[in-house]
Structures are given as structure tokens and as C-alpha cells.
């Protein structure tokens, strides 16, 4: 199955046609109790904490190569696998897995549009049987072209060719909600609450591409710029990362430490 048979954003009806295909690897990042009750047939489960690392107070970091290799091997990932990820909370956790796959050079993947909500709302068949895949030997090698760390951002705060996108709530962005030692936002960052990309009236699917492009363009988030997305732990912003990739933005990076690092670092500048 070639990647172009499944687009980056795949509809539930389209995915159902491919259930059972050998190279298809469906990954459920819902809460464990949800997975036990109902999931897409054939989906393996990853618990979200398995794909993030913590060095308190910094959350949401990339795991080291060895533990990440172990997790990806445990679900049977091989280079030819086309991963379709989903979750039960709007796509943030699923998108974090897809961004993580980008960091290791695995670009054959899709996000299930609307996740489990849309799948259930559209009454597609489900299973409650746990799925175990034959373990693979997936050796992680990181590609930093989709990663922005603190130093990378500090070097580009005044770069007119870089746009930093804060995907937290407006209250977090303005510093009214404090979730680190300091509150506010990265200097120059524009605010695009990640939930603004989601249409709650359509089973948590993405809003139309034309609408998203218009809103982002109005914020100065345009395809010729390098875009860096962040939130508190690069969970919400991972969703925006996938949205931007689906809109053909060629230069997008995620900041894994996000505000849990920036807001707890005494040397960083804050607005």
C-alpha cells in the first residue's frame, strides 16, 4: 500500500476500506479504559506517557532513542508500516505520536480525522479485543529538522522569517493562567488556540482547509516562513503541527519542552 492511498488526514469511511491491510498499523492513543471498551478493529494501544519524557519541571520531552525504540518495536512498527493514529480527546495525543514519527524519519502516517469520536458517531464497526502485534526491531535515529529546542528558538527571536505559534488558551498566552514559574508567552509569538482548528459540530474533525488557511494567514502564519509551534508540553501544539503539515506548510518544527521549559527557565525572555 503506497502512502498516497491514505492522505495525511484520513476520513473514517476511507480508513474502514483499508482495515486488515498488511502494511496498515492503526495506533490508538485513547485512555486505556476507553481502549478496553471500544476501539477501531485491529488497533494497537499506546499509553501516552510511553512516548514522552520528563525531567521535572520540564514535561513533554522526546524520549531517548532506546526507550522510544522499545515502544515502537512493541507495536510492530517497520519501515514499510503506514501508521494511522487516533485518540479520544481531539487528536492531540495522536498528533504527538505522528510528530514523534517525523523526528525519527518515519513519514508514512495519517491522522484519523475526528478520532474515536468521529468513528463512533459515523457508526463504523468497533472491537473490544486487545490487539498484540509481532514485535519488530525498530531502531530509532533522530532527525532534528522538525524539532526546535530552547536554544534554537532563542537564536531566532528576532528572525523575520520565523513565526512562533503559541497554541495554548488566550488566558495562558496573556499570562492570566500560570502553569510555570513565570507566565506569559515567548516574545513575538502569535496565539492560535489549538481548539480553533477543531469543528465540534462534526465529530471533532478539522475545520475546512480554506478556513484554517485564512485564520492562520491573518496571524502572519504563512507557508514561506519557518513555523515553530509550542504549548505547555507539545501536546496541543503537536495537533497544530499536523494541521500545518496538512495545509502544505513546508517548514514546521515542534518545541517539545514548550512552556514547561521556557516558563521555568530564568534566562528566557517573556512577554
Looking at the annotation, which residues are catalytic?
Answer: 231
Q: Cβ distance 259 to 179 under 8 Å?
A: yes
The pLDDT value recorded for residue 4 is 54
**Among candidate residues 99, 69, 138, the one with its CA nearest the CA of residue 236:** 99
pLDDT digits (tens, 9 = 90+) for 23-53: 999 999 999 999 999 999 999 999 999 999 9
pLDDT digits (tens, 9 = 90+) for 247-267: 999 999 999 999 999 999 999
Domains of the chain: 3-143 (3.40.250.10), 147-262 (3.40.250.10)
Which helix (H) or strand (E) segment holds residue 26: the answer is strand 24-28
Q: Please, which pLDDT band fits residue 1 given cuts at 50, 70 and 90?
A: very low
Judged by DSSP in three states, 247 sits in coil
- What is the C-alpha separation between 256 and 62, in angstroms, rounded? 7
Q: 65 φ, ψ to 5°?
A: -60, -40
- What is the C-alpha separation between 142 and 251, in angstroms, rounded? 17
Q: Output b/e per residue, 167-206; b: 16+ Cβ within 10 A.
A: bbbeebbeeeeeebeebbbbebbebbbbeebbeeeebbbb
Amino acid at each position: 500500500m503506497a502512502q498516497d492511498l491514505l492522505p495525511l488526514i484520513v476520513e473514517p469511511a476511507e480508513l474502514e476500506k483499508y482495515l486488515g491491510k498488511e502494511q496498515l498499523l492503526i495506533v490508538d492513543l485513547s485512555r486505556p479504559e476507553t481502549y478496553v471498551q471500544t476501539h477501531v478493529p485491529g488497533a494497537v494501544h499506546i499509553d501516552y506517557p510511553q512516548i514522552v519524557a520528563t525531567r521535572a519541571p520540564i514535561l513533554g520531552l522526546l524520549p531517548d532513542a532506546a526507550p522510544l525504540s522499545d515502544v515502537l518495536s512493541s507495536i510492530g512498527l517497520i519501515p514499510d508500516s503506514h501508521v494511522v493514529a487516533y485518540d479520544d480527546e481531539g487528536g492531540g495525543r495522536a498528533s504527538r505520536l505522528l510528530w514523534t514519527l517525523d523526528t525519527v524519519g518515519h513519514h508514512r502516517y495519517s491522522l484519523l480525522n475526528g478520532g474515536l469520536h468521529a468513528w463512533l458517531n459515523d457508526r463504523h464497526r468497533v472491537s473490544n479485543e486487545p490487539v498484540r502485534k509481532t514485535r519488530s526491531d525498530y531502531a530509532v535515529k533522530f532527525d532534528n529538522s522538525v524539532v526546535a529546542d530552547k536554544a534554537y528558538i532563542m537564536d531566532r527571536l528576532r528572525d523575520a522569517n520565523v513565526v512562533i505559534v503559541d497554541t495554548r488558551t488566550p488566558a495562558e498566552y496573556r499570562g492570566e493562567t500560570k502553569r510555570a514559574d513565570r507566565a506569559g508567552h515567548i516574545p513575538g509569538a502569535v496565539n492560535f488556540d489549538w481548539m480553533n482548528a477543531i469543528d465540534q459540530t462534526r465529530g471533532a474533525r478539522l475545520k475546512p482547509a480554506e478556513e484554517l488557511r485564512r485564520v492562520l494567514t491573518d496571524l502572519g502564519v504563512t507557508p514561506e516562513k519557518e513555523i515553530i509551534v509550542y504549548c505547555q508540553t507539545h501536546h496541543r501544539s503537536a495537533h497544530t503541527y499536523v494541521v500545518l503539515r496538512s495545509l502544505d506548510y513546508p517548514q514546521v518544527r515542534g518545541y517539545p519542552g514548550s512552556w514547561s521549559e521556557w516558563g521555568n527557565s530564568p534566562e528566557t525572555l517573556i512577554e
